[in-house]
Structure 1
Amino acid sequence: MTNPTFGETIVKTAAAWGAVASMALCVAVLIASEFMPVSLLTPIARDLGMSEGQAGQAISISGLFAVLTSLFIAGFTRKIDRKFVLSSFSLMLIVSGLVVSFAPNYAALMVGRALLGVAIGGFWSMSTAVVMRLLLESAVPEGLALLNAGNAIAATISAPLGSFLGLHRLAGRVLLRGSAGAHCAPRVLIGGAITRAVLPRLVWAQKETNMKMRIAFADHVFTATLYDSPPARDLWSMLPLELEIDNYANNEKIAYLPRKLTEEGSGSFSNEAPGDLCYYAPWGNLAFFYAGYRYSAGLIRLGRLDGGVEPLLTRGKFPLRIERLS
């Protein structure tokens, strides 16, 4: 459990910026998909045999579903890895573009545009929070600027580009309404693939719970509180435990578990401090830190000691008992 090397730090930073760039690309496609039909309402209405007012509702319905989604998506997805959620919205945008492109009637057009609204509302409602968790605090303004650059560029070019594609009918091979949807699929496939490849797994918010443990070894008895995360709950399900605790390096004591914990929702973290209770996935051991440390790959923070770290300063190997306090 050594500190990250210089090379590992560089890779982590590059991956975070790559994830932000891929999100900016997806934002550009979202905005382009939303506003491109504005310049094509008349030909779309003629193509589907409906009034221009009905065609205009295709713009309104995406906005309506975007608002509704943004209000409720955080609660529905709070226990799901954000990487999976954002990738799902990218896939939903592809489906929306294809449905709109080949819609045979008014109802199918509305369904496709409603799916687009869900993707827009979901993506926008969590994009800022995701950027703030991907980058260091000092780099967040640049990250948000990059994210909104995709918005500004797409809003500027989407309407004239839609008109151009509609007039030329994409060399006669795509219907007018297809110019508002089908061309988005390749770009979203690229953006979604990049997002899936470079967006790191985002660790669960580390909120304290009522999962308190009593820890005893040698003549020491102290408590710790677990965070609300799948690995912490997995540890909670294993209690009580009879283990052995021993020193490792000069900043922690470790205890090997009878089996490995789930790594769901794990990822890099900051604000490392003495008193952290962690799990080192490659070795399958608990790590009780009594001095400063740095995050390294495979380290998962489970919770914190409730008191000081003085009990951990006792050196040697001892029987260790961990049990539920509440």
Structure 2
Amino acid sequence: MPQHHTTDAMHDNTPLLQITDVSRSFTLRQKLFDAAADTVKAVDSVTLHISRGETLGLVGESGCGKSTLARMTAGLLKPDSGTVHITPDSGGSGRIANASGVQMIFQDPFSSLNPRMRVGRSIGEALEVQGMPRAARRARVEHLLAVVGLAPEHYDRYPHEFSGGQRQRIAIARALAPQASLLVCDEPVSALDVSVQAQVLNLLADLRDSLGLSMLFISHDLSVVRHFCHRVAVMYLGRIIETAPRDMIYNAPLHPYTKALLASLPVPDPDARTTHTRLQGEPPSPVSPPSGCHFHPRCPHAMPHCRTHIPAETVLHGRHRVRCHLYA
């Protein structure tokens, strides 16, 4: 577990990222005798924001749309509808105002690095596009290697010469090179050995605090999210169903799905009992999601109204947002 424990007061409330009513669908490959191809709505009318210096954790079961939302945030996918807006940096932080202000750190550092390209060139590629001279570019890259815990002589090596943890440090250096304001971290430590996960998380936390970075942090590990993130958004079958500051989510969750997710967390005390009902069953197919509230087939509190009406967002305590008919 990382040593850093994030506090809610470590960032200001100035919006950096604003995602408004974003949706994205994919058409599946049509079967031979089917009249029409199936469509999957991976992201369904999502609205989110991230403040400057804030880390928003995005959690949910596999296939709920987290990575699709991450790629739209980074500009790798275009939404079918809605907007993704990044507020340009004012220049006070000394960052370069690039086209999107966003860089992405992927889950697998080996597949995200070009195996035929030396790491120095991989890290400095964005700087080359920005027109930085070669000597200044090399100096900048060597500085970044030192910042992430590597050595300047690693500049001319290839990705296969490094361990998994070192490759992820290289990926982090590459993301830092153009000095973006927002890092999108899609399961950045899940492919690493447990022994090095905490080291990489501590590095990200140090960089966030020293550079004033904002982050969208996607993880299936709820313990990591609790220690690393300021605020948490819970996603289920393409929709955001609950958003709140970290301590509100973990200490007083509202949505039955969030409660069930937290009930799955391992507890050090074998005699301790959770007060939440554990999650039962498998998520419905995104090809034919349930009507109304997507969670109602698995919800212990489902009412007839849940089967026919999509719950509207309810705001409690000023900052706790939930989409559930129990709080309407």
TM-score by length of structure 1 reads: 0.23
Higher-helix-fraction structure = 1
Q: Which one has the bigger strand percentage?
A: 2
TM-score by length of 2: 0.22
